Chain A
Amino acid sequence: MSGAVAGEGAAAATERRTIANGVWGMALLIATETALFGTLIATYFYLRFSSPRWPPAGIAAPSVALPLALAGLLVLTTIPVTAAARASRRERAGTAIGLLAVALVLQAGYLAWQIVLFARDAGAVEPKATAYGSVYDTLLLVHHAHVALGLLLSLWLIARLARGVTPYRVVTADVVALYWVFVAVVGMAVTATVVSAA
């Protein structure tokens, strides 16, 4: 992408050599969000290692295979999202929108399936009864909220790219891709944390 050029800056502007401001902003947001999830995961293990039994008596151990498979699916969706960012850089709006739409369907499916699993567990893992239930539900809910926000970001990006590619939207595509990579990595970390009780 050519560097942004405006007015008298035309002569000075060249191919951008550094990271765009918007990507910097998202990277720093991810840094602080990583600290937030790190704190939640640390809370989980602090409570776990202070407890004689984890999960507490009467609560079944979480299933392992399905949550890990779902987390793997979320990681895979970062491929079309990052490819969409590359396509938008080449000003191929249609390709970018298609890739984002594929990812969006998978990510929405992931969230829907997670919500079903969460609802299924709700009877067995009661957050008002034990610290285990409290931290289990909180970790998953905070993660799900991030997935939901990602879906909104992707929808917004598709709507913007449908009106054509501009330098600003190229940066937006990079920002959204970066966010999804973060959500996928965090999703894996959260899943690994909650299934560790098994």
Chain B
Amino acid sequence: MTALDEPTLARLRTERLERVWAERSGLLGWLTTTNHKRIGLMFFFTALAFFLAGGVEALLIRTQLIGPNEHVLSPQAYNEAFTLHGVTMIFLFVVPISIGAFGNYLLPLMIGARDLAFPRLNAFSYWVYLAAGLFVYTGLAIGQAPDTGWFSYVPLASKQYSPGAGVDFYALGLIFTGVSSTATAINLIVTTFKLRAPGMSLNRMPLFCYAFLAVSFALLFALPPLTVATMLLELDRRLGFEFYDVTGGGLPLLWQHLFWIFGHPEVYIIILPAFGIATSIIPTFTRRRMVAFPLVAVAEILVAFIGFGVWVHHMFAVGLPTITTIYFAAASLVIVIPSGIQLFAWITTILTGTPIFKTPLLWILGFIVLFIVGGLSGIMFAAIPFDQQATDSYFVVAHFHYVIFGAAVFPILGGIYYWFPKVTGRMYHERWGQASFWLTFAGTMVTFFPMHVAGLEGMPRRVYTYASGAGWSGLNLTETLGAYLLAAGLLTMTVNLVASAFRGALAPDDPWHGDTLEWATTSPPPAYNFAVIPTVTSAYPLWDDADRVADRRRLARGEMVLAGGHEQPASTTLDAELDEILEMPSESPWPLFAALALAGVFVMLLTGHVAIALGFGAVAVALLACWHVWEPEGAA
């Protein structure tokens, strides 16, 4: 037999992997896919669609407020617009695009894995998310949109004051989306702990993964209070229970506690992925390792942890005992420390590196500026007397938009530019990319900074309109013009990326000389991610040239190619020593069917058909059983 040369052997092995990991093409392939990258893309585009909806709602709000006594929206439509804007941006855009799109697509690539730990659960997460989003927006379509604000306080949200179905769409919709987020969180944690490439001990794991690990844990403990809060609200509204009704011994403040026990960790759930994206982009574009890597890793986890102890600072004005409010004021100051550690680490890394001001880094610099402004105004709310004066004013609106749009969304937008070549195999247009950043940054500042002033001058949040003599007209006009400037920036980005996806220059595997493993594979990555499971000997594996040479040799020798099936190595949790080889599931229709059955449960609960809802629940359980009939050769 003739001996084959190394390139030929490598090609043959790669072709075998292509065959083993190939999924159906066409619509059926997308409906049954369990591939983390396809699911990540579905999360991405669905989240963008909801971002567009939330953005339109924002522009409607700002247009209504462009001048005093405007009538662009009716008061009811205005209430619905600001409620849906908040619910959409938080539950249907930022969280899904963070953990669902970025986490799904990138985390396995960064740790040298071929998929998530539970591929079918991953598909289920996506279909549940899509169904939940459509469920919430069905309320708008049938004229029953929620209208009580994103935190939907009782008694306003009670049946007595909100008799329509809007609050029911809100409450059931949030429980529904929580199923998706919980499933994704569990998947990301197990993937991070078990599927890291051999050699990637915890201290060599990218900071991006630490951030997503912290977020996933935070989700597991933050979502149950929201689920309980909304479940009790539905029991009050639909069955006449007495949790929040004072006439039966219930307490409206119970809602506020439960909501904010979820709500404040949610702020960190929103911004921690952004921190992870920043810690990916900064080393690449400053050509140096992150300053204080271990401290930043610990700080990411501490932020998530301490975030559970500050919720009462949202309730300083409700008359709680002073001793309680003082404790939470102190905790609200303490959380600045881990946030500050990360901030100083980013700044020091940039200052001591050799920054290359490409578009992704510009977004991160913008994020740092906006996070400092939003962070400083946030600290001010830890001062109880100031909080009591400024609460429910536009100052609060200014603060949280600096944090949520500036600190959370800017890195997401920077991340889209950063990983665009990897995902599409094309380069974006650099100048238009920079133009989109400056337009969006200017728009953000012009929109949200004057809100500080409007708030301090007494403008309350959520007002439908204002009198011409209130002294807020100029500020509101400026804010509205800023909102359109911001939208122009995002439109520029969209045009740039869409055009580049079709006509951009072909991207090499590693256009930025990045430091993490996703740049070790082709652009876009193949279905199996890596032809050979990568060698890892440091926290910056792509900068270890010898390891990459070793990978090519191992491919030729057939070591750790694992082409016998959907094979994936599992490692020990701390040291990432090879533990076993897992056979991963492939395409399956059951996650989609199970999600549809679950959607049936929620629709029937909404319409008050409890018995039919139970029937759909039984169908969902039966479908889960079908899902588990196929067994991998190895235990999973």
Contacts and interface: CB of A to CB of B under 8 A. Distances in A.
Contact of A4 (B221, B239, B633): B633
Contacts of B249: 47, 51, 56, 130-132
Given A7-B565, A8-B564, A32 B223 contact: yes
B248 A131 contact: yes
Report whether over half of chain A's contact residues are helix, strand or loop; otherwise say mixed.
helix
Interface in A1-27: 1, 3-10, 12-14, 16-22, 24-25
Interface stretch (A36-44, A69-77, A94-102, A110-118): A36-44
Contacts, number: 189
Nearest to A53: B249
A28 interface: yes
Interface residues of B, number: 64
B242 A46 contact: no
B242 A131 contact: yes
Chain A interface size, as a band, is 35 or more
B168 interface: no
Contact of B118 (A18, A21, A129): A21
A128 B561 contact: no
A193 interface: no
A169 B631 contact: yes
A130 B581 contact: no
A16 B577 CA distance: 11
B225 A39 contact: yes
A7 B563 contact: yes
Contacts of B581: 3-10, 12-13
Interface string A148-181: 0000100010000000001111111000000000
A129 B248 CA distance: 6
Contacts of B257: 46
A6 B636 CA distance: 13
B243 A134 contact: yes
A137 B20 CA distance: 52
A58 B560 CA distance: 71
B631 A168 contact: yes
Interface string B217-257: 00011011101100110011001111101001111001001
Given A8-B564, A25-B117, A130 B634 contact: no
Nearest to B561: A8
Contacts of B579: 3, 14, 16-18
A31 interface: yes
B251 to A, nearest CB: 6
A39 B228 contact: yes
Nearest to A169: B631
A156 B631 contact: no
A127 interface: yes
B636 A21 contact: yes
Contact of B242 (A29, A36, A133): A133
Contacts of A50: 251
Given A21-B190, A22-B635, A128-B241, 5 more contacts: A3-B634, A20-B635, A24-B194, A129-B248, A138-B232
9 contacts: A4-B634, A7-B562, A8-B558, A17-B572, A43-B243, A133-B242, A134-B248, A167-B633, A169-B631
